[in-house]
C-alpha cells in the first residue's frame, strides 16, 4: 500500500536551531517525493522535490531508499519558516496523483 507518514504533528524550535521534519514512505516502486509548504492563510506550494536535489529557502531533503525516508532539514530555522509542511509521494502510472502525509506544523519561536 502507498503511504506517507509524518510522525510529528507539531515541531517547535527556537530561531537559529536546526530543524528536521521527518517523512517516511511506503511504495513498491520508485516514487517521486516532494515537500510542500502552506503558510498561514496561503495556498499550498511546492518547496522542493527529490529529483532536483536543490536547496530552497535553506531547506534540503535527501531521499534514502534504504530507510524509505525523505526528511526535510534546515540548519538554522527562521521565524518565517513557521508553517505547515507536507511530504508527498507520486507513483508512476497513477495519473500524477499525489499522496500526502499528515503534515507537520513547524513553529519557530524568537
Partner 1 sequence: GAVVSQHPSRVICKSGTSVKIECRSLDFQATTMFWYRQFPKQSLMLMATSNEGSKATYEQGVEKDKFLINHASLTLSTLTVTSAHPEDSSFYICSAGASGAVSSYNEQFFGPGTRLTVL
Enumerate binding residues for partner 1 (CB under 8 A): 9, 32, 42-46, 49, 51, 84, 86, 95-103, 105
What does residue 53 show for φ and ψ, rounded to 5 degrees? 50, 45
Beta carbon nearer to partner 1, 18 or 50: 50
Distances (CA, A) of 99 to 19, 55, 65, 79: 23, 22, 17, 28
Question: What is the smallest separation between the CB atom of 76 and partner 1, expressed in angstroms?
Answer: 25
Beta bridge partner(s), residue 19: 74
Beta carbon nearer to partner 1, 70 or 86: 86
Question: What is the smallest separation between the CB atom of 47 and partner 1, expressed in angstroms?
Answer: 12
DSSP, collapsed to helix, strand or coil, labels residue 81 as helix
Amino acid at each position: 500500500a502507498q503511504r506517507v507518514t509524518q510522525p510529528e504533528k507539531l515541531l517547535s524550535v527556537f530561531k537559529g536551531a536546526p530543524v528536521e521534519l521527518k517523512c517516511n514512505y511506503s511504495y513498491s516502486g520508485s516514487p517521486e517525493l516532494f515537500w510542500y509548504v502552506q503558510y498561514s492563510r496561503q495556498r499550498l506550494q511546492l518547496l522542493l522535490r527529490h529529483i532536483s536535489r536543490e536547496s530552497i529557502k535553506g531547506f534540503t531533503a535527501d531521499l534514502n531508499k534504504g530507510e524509505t525516508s525523505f526528511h526535510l532539514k534546515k540548519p538554522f530555522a527562521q521565524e518565517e519558516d513557521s508553517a505547515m509542511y507536507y511530504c508527498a509521494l507520486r507513483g508512476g502510472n497513477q495519473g500524477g496523483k499525489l499522496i500526502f502525509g499528515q503534515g507537520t506544523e513547524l513553529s519557530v519561536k524568537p
